[in-house]
Amino acid sequence: MHHPSAPPGAQAPHDKDYLRRLLAERNQAPGDAAGIDTAIEQAFVRNVAILVLDMCGFSRITQSHGIIHFLAMIHQMEQAARPAIRGNGGEIIKQEADNLFAIFNTPGQALEAALDTLRALQAMNSVLPPERILNVSAGIGFGPTLVIAQQDLFGPEMNCACKLGEDIAGANEILLTEAAHAGLPPDRYICDSTSCQISGMDLHAHRFGHCLFERPLNSPLPGATSLR
Contact 53, 82 (CB under 8 A): no
Confidence band, pLDDT 50/70/90 cuts, at residue 228:
very low
Amino acid at site 188: R
First to last CA, the chain: 33
pLDDT in tens, 130-186: 878 889 999 999 999 999 978 899 999 999 999 999 999 999 999 999 999 999 999
- Torsion of Cα atoms, 16 then 20 then 21 then 26, to 10°: 140
Confidence band, pLDDT 50/70/90 cuts, at residue 6:
very low
pLDDT in tens, 55-111: 887 666 667 777 787 788 888 889 999 999 999 999 999 999 889 999 999 999 999
pLDDT tops 50 at residue 222: no
pLDDT tops 70 at residue 226: no
Which are the contacts of 221, defined by CB distance < 8 A and separation ≥ 6?
Answer: 88, 106, 108, 109, 112, 185
Looking at residue 219, its pLDDT comes to: 46
- CA angle in degrees (0–180, nearest 5) for 168-106-104: 80
For residue 19, give the DSSP letter. H
**Length of the chain (residues):** 228
Mean of the per-residue pLDDT values for the chain? 86
Looking at residue 73, its pLDDT comes to: 82
Average pLDDT on 201-208 reads: 92
From the CB of residue 28, how many other CB atoms can be counted at a distance below 10 Å? 9
For residue 191, give the DSSP letter. E
Looking at residue 71, its pLDDT comes to: 83
- Torsion of Cα atoms, 94 then 100 then 104 then 108, to 10°: 180
Looking at residue 1, its pLDDT comes to: 47
Q: Which runs of E-coded beta strand occur in 44-148?
A: 45-55, 91-96, 99-104, 136-148
From the CB of residue 44, how many other CB atoms can be counted at a distance below 10 Å? 23
| Phi–psi pair at 161, nearest 5 degrees | -60, -40
Which H helix or E strand runs over 62?
helix 58-65
